Amino acid sequence: MAWGKPKQWRKRTVDSDDEEERREHSKEEEEQSIEHSEEEEEEEEMMEESDDEEESVGRVAYRARLLDADSEPAAARAEIAPYIEDIDSYMRYLEKLRRPTDYMPTTGEVNPSWRAILVDWLVEVADEFNFPADTLHLAVSYVDRFLSVGAIVTRELQLLGAASMLLAAKYESDEYAHKAKDYSYISNNLYTEQQVVKMEADILNKLKFEMGSPTARTFLQRYVTICPRGDVKKLEFLCSYLADLSLLDYDCTKFKPSVVAAACLFVARFTINPNSRPWNLVLQRKVGYKVSDLRCCILKIHRLQSIGTYPFLKETAVKDKYSHCELECVSAMGSPREIPEYFLKDIEDHKNTASEKWKHSRHI
């Protein structure tokens, strides 16, 4: 499943006066002049490509952040403080309502490896179009939800991914919307514009036009505000990297997005400071999960981080994306091969235990 990146071609124009002057020179001088001109053009192209790459990387860093770059965690937390409980309750309700089912046994030709290849391609598409990471996660959720209610053949899987990205971009913002023909192009014209539009309509119908769906990033955006100490930027990038990695593994769809987000936060904190307990009572109370609730997902995320990819994929766009220094090179950060068992044990909350006992005694 390869797609062609747009290439910018420089068109060289030759002035008629220059042509006449070249004819007056000897063949040797002409060749030298042409060689010199080509070298200058190559240098200019390299400089332009370098500038474009720097600008692109800067956009990647901005898109990967979980918080507004201009706001502090405390400020972000204060703005939503009066509504945080209601928002969280609604998001927890919505994630249950719009979770994909275990669809692999019923999807025919599609298997976890093909899905991983598709998601890896979608990461490249999102970067090519300068989409925020939230758009990528939403597009993958559309793919999984669609496959939960309808089977397709492998040759249509990339079409499903392209149309899902088109819809996610439209849902997020008009600023990121592209035309169907752009998605036909990025698939190496494997599909026509009409096929992309038809698949877009099929997705809308299958999902009953219910396009809003919380992802792991939705919950991470709140979770990181609970951990304001230390290098917040590095924590954001690391959580973003782990969340993107989780998209590759079909097994992660079996966990709720809020659980995946909490597991990513746990592993990120463990990576940054492996000698300190990643989970504490503050996180346990505000996130709403004990370590035992997250254990299976934590081990899955930690394994993905250890190999930096999905099994059977040699290299992934996710790891390459987060290897830039502007993203703190978080994909190169390693954590101990084993998480101490002590860190995976629940923390006893004496306050909540006493409260539960008091409530229980009131009913006796």
pLDDT single digits (tens) 262-308: 999 999 999 999 999 999 999 999 999 999 999 999 999 999 999 88
Tens digits of residue pLDDT in 170-196: 998 776 667 888 888 888 888 999 999
The whole-angstrom separation of Cα 54 and Cα 290 is 42
Four-residue CA torsion sign, 60, 314, 109, 255? negative
d(CA 74, CA 85): 17
Please say if the pLDDT value at position 86 is more than 60.
yes
Is position 94 within any domain?
no
Same domain, 199 and 227: no
For the record, the structure tokens of 180 come out as: 């169907």
Query: Do the Cβ atoms of 316 and 309 come closer than 8 Å?
Result: yes
Which residues contact residue 219 at a Cβ distance below 8 angstroms, ignoring those fewer than 6 apart? 91, 257, 258, 261, 262
Number of other CB atoms surrounding residue 158 within 10 Å: 23
Is residue 69 in a domain?
A: no
CA angle (101, 87, 62) in 5-degree steps: 85
My answer on whether 151 and 288 are in the same domain is: no
Residues 246, 226 within the same domain: yes
CATH number at residue 256: 1.10.472.10
Q: Which residues contact 33 (CB under 8 A, 6 or more apart)?
A: 22, 25
Q: Residue 315's pLDDT band (boundaries 50, 70, 90)?
A: confident
Asked which of 172, 206, 240 is the last residue of a domain, the reply is 206
Q: What percent of the chain has pLDDT over 70?
A: 72
SS3 (DSSP) at 347: coil
DSSP state of 345: S
| pLDDT score, position 94 | 92
Q: Which residue is listed with tokens 């990461």?
A: 123
Residues 227 and 106 in one domain: no
Give dist(CA 145, CA 150) in Å, integer: 9
**So what's the pLDDT on residue 182?**
87
Distance CA 328, CA 217 (A): 19
**Are 194 and 238 contained in the same domain?**
no
- Beta-carbon contacts of 102 under 8 Å, excluding residues fewer than 6 positions away, are 253, 254
Same domain, 148 and 185: yes
Q: What percent of the chain has pLDDT over 90?
A: 45
- Expressed as residue numbers, the domain containing 346 is 214-359
